[in-house]
Amino acid sequence: MLICKYMNFYVMTLFPEMILQGMSQSITGRAMAKGAISVEAVNIRDYTNERHGHVDDAPYGGGAGMVMQAQPICDCYEALLERIRRQGAEKKPRVIYLTPQGRVFDQSYAEELAGEENLIFLCGHYEGVDERALTLLETENVSIGDYVLTGGELPAMVMMDCISRLVPGVLGKEESADIETFHDGLLEYPQYTRPEVYRDLRVPEILLSGHHGNVEKWRREQSIERTLRFRPDLLPKARLTEKEQAYLRGLLAEQELGGN
């Protein structure tokens, strides 16, 4: 997996403050402050030719709602693209359009996008975007789930947050992104911290043993068990050793016996 040493995010939006306020907090905010990532929100409305500042109009063919016009979106994109080129970008940035009609975003796609130096996000509103803008920008249509939101800003922030965590220097420990949920196709194992006993519930003894090999084995088994319980659809693609495959077969056998 090729990961870029830094990441520049550009968001074409009608609500730049929403993007900047959201991304400037917590881990992504600290990453921005130290230069591991940069986030720029560009107001599409600044590029409209309409004298009242409108960026939308009624759809051809009739129907409810309004559609974002191609002109301000394309002009915004072309100005942004020219600026990125002047900054020395060696290749054309990929453009992500956030839409429930797109490819579903997942960890493998995040890892793919983390190899880019520059990413452009287009946030739609109203009833969507004039299809000609999407054609001209050669967008990759991406969804974060099978539901509809009021705009593309929240999905864009979800994607940027996920991708950012894969950029070196963003997380406190470089290994953190490699041992979490979906690593090796499995859900993450359960976590515990002090105190050892809380409301009569104890931390598993194995975690107090100090035996790192046994702890790692327990954690892997817990990940397999959790994945089987909550996301069995992930298991066919999970990366398991022969011993772990045998452990999974044993769980499946117990599950089958329990169902009889």
Q: Are 20 and 92 in a shared domain?
A: yes
CA torsion, points 190, 191, 196, 198, in degrees to nearest 10? Answer: -70
Give pLDDT, residue 164: 97
Per-residue pLDDT at 175: 46
122 burial type by CB count under 10 A (0-12 exposed, 13-18 middle, 19+ buried):
buried
Counting the structural domains of the chain, the total is 2
Does the residue 65 lie in any domain? yes
Q: Which domain holds residue 239?
A: 183-259
Kindly state whether residues 111 and 191 are assigned to the same domain: no
* 169 in any annotated domain: no
d(CA 228, CA 241): 16
Do 203 and 129 lie in one domain? The reply is no
Q: Is residue 75 one of the residues assigned to a domain?
A: yes
Is 78:17 a contact under the CB 8 Å cutoff?
A: no
Statement to judge: residues 187 and 129 lie in one domain:
no
Tell whether 41 is covered by a domain. yes
Residues 130 and 50 in one domain: yes
- The confidence score (pLDDT) of residue 141 equals 98
11 and 78 in a common domain: yes
pLDDT score, position 183: 64
Based on the domain organization, do 121 and 151 belong to the same domain?
Answer: yes
Please check whether residue 99 is in contact with residue 140, taking contact to mean a CB–CB distance below 8 angstroms. Answer: no
Tell me the C-alpha distance between 227 and 156, whole Å: 27
User: Between β-strands 67-68 and 56-57, what pairing exists: parallel, antiparallel or unpaired?
Assistant: antiparallel
> Which CATH number does the domain housing residue 21 bear?
3.40.1280.10
pLDDT (tens, 9 = 90+) of the chain, 260 residues, equals 567 788 999 999 999 999 999 999 999 999 999 999 999 999 999 999 999 999 999 999 999 899 999 999 999 999 999 999 999 998 999 999 999 999 999 999 999 999 999 999 999 998 999 999 999 999 999 999 999 999 999 999 999 999 999 999 999 765 455 555 676 889 999 999 999 999 999 999 999 999 999 999 999 999 999 999 999 999 999 999 999 999 999 999 999 998 76
Assign residue 205 the CATH number of its domain. 1.10.1270.20
**The whole model's pTM is what?**
0.89
Residue 176 placed within a domain = no
pLDDT value at residue 14: 98
